[in-house]
């Protein structure tokens, strides 16, 4: 049983009915600290007061224990709590960090390795010196922003689906999911290198799309699991 979802469901229903934690506690005979503990996901209501809590919130005992009437609604209602705000702030930090890192990588490749001729490379686009110039369709800052968008999307999907995992979930499956996330984050960087440097023995598009397709497949399976 996911105590975070149960607490989020209780909190949303309480606010919807215009009740404070103290008022709800007064109705069902518990302290406001107990209500706060439930809503923060640190515990569950006692069996003896579940029925009175369900009546006060105009719901059923099963809905409280399940964290919502159905899983899809449970997911939607879990959005907007304090935990999600924390995830949102972390997401902003992650995206900004990714932007700084990608711009640094772009500058390093363009002006250090290429300009100083540390290694001899033949580029598919550009004038042979600066791959981000000339006829390169990925000129300027498009590649760094593609990295940022992909990493930002991956991050938010990751944190939200991680919250949906049951407390006794399959650890092996979760580890595999985390491994795929690492592939998604690294794929654009590998893709840039193989795309800008002419290497005939491998198609650089495969490096980008294969882990992406695996990621989409896993997300689809997770959505189907939530819909059941």
Please write down the HEC assignment for all residues of 161-209.
HHHHCCCCCCHHHHHHHHHHHHHHHHHHHHHHHHHHECCCCCCHHHHHH
Indicate the residue among 22, 47, 77 that finishes a domain.
77
* Whole-number Å distance between alpha carbons of 32 and 10: 13
Same domain (yes/no): 173, 108:
yes
Same domain (yes/no): 140, 115:
yes
* Count of structural domains within the chain: 2
Same domain (yes/no): 108, 216:
yes
Same domain (yes/no): 168, 98:
yes
Q: Which domain holds residue 69?
A: 3-77
Other CB atoms within 10 Å distance of the CB of residue 88: 12
Same domain (yes/no): 116, 218:
yes
Digit-by-digit pLDDT tens for the chain (228 residues) are 678 778 888 888 898 888 898 999 889 989 888 898 888 888 888 888 888 888 888 888 888 877 776 554 444 445 445 555 555 555 555 555 555 555 555 555 554 445 444 344 444 444 444 444 444 444 444 555 555 566 666 666 656 555 554 444 444 445 555 555 555 555 555 555 555 555 555 555 555 555 555 556 655 665 555 554
Same domain (yes/no): 91, 204:
yes
Per-residue confidence (pLDDT) for residue 97, from 0 to 100: 55
Same domain (yes/no): 135, 107:
yes
Indicate the residue among 43, 77, 111 that finishes a domain.
77
* Greatest distance between any 2 Cα atoms in the chain: 77
Contact 32, 14 (CB under 8 A): no
Indicate the residue among 45, 62, 77 that finishes a domain.
77
Per-residue confidence (pLDDT) for residue 83, from 0 to 100: 56
Per-residue confidence (pLDDT) for residue 120, from 0 to 100: 42
Same domain (yes/no): 123, 211:
yes
Contact 70, 127 (CB under 8 A): no
Same domain (yes/no): 49, 103:
no
């Amino acid at each position: 049983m996911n105590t975070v979802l149960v607490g989020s469901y209780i909190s949303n229903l309480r606010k919807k009915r215009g009740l404070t934690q103290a008022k709800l506690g007064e109705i069902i005979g518990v302290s406001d600290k107990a209500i706060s503990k439930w809503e923060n996901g640190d515990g569950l209501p006692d069996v003896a007061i579940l029925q009175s809590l369900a009546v006060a919130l105009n719901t059923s005992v099963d809905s409280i224990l399940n964290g919502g009437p159905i899983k899809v609604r449970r997911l939607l209602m879990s959005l907007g709590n304090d935990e999600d705000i924390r995830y949102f702030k972390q997401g902003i930090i992650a995206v900004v960090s990714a932007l700084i890192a990608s711009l640094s990588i772009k500058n390093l490749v363009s002006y250090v390795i290429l300009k100083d001729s540390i290694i001899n490379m033949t580029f598919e686009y550009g004038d042979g010196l600066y791959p981000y110039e000339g006829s390169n369709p990925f000129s300027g800052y498009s590649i760094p922003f593609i990295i940022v968008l992909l990493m930002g999307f991956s991050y938010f999907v990751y944190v939200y689906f991680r919250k949906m995992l049951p407390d006794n979930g399959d650890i092996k499956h979760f580890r595999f999911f985390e491994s795929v996330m690492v592939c998604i984050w690294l794929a654009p960087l590998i893709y840039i290198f193989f795309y800008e440097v002419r290497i005939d023995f491998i198609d650089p598009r495969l490096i980008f799309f294969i882990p992406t397709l695996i990621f989409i497949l896993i997300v689809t399976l997770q959505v189907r699991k939530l819909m059941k």
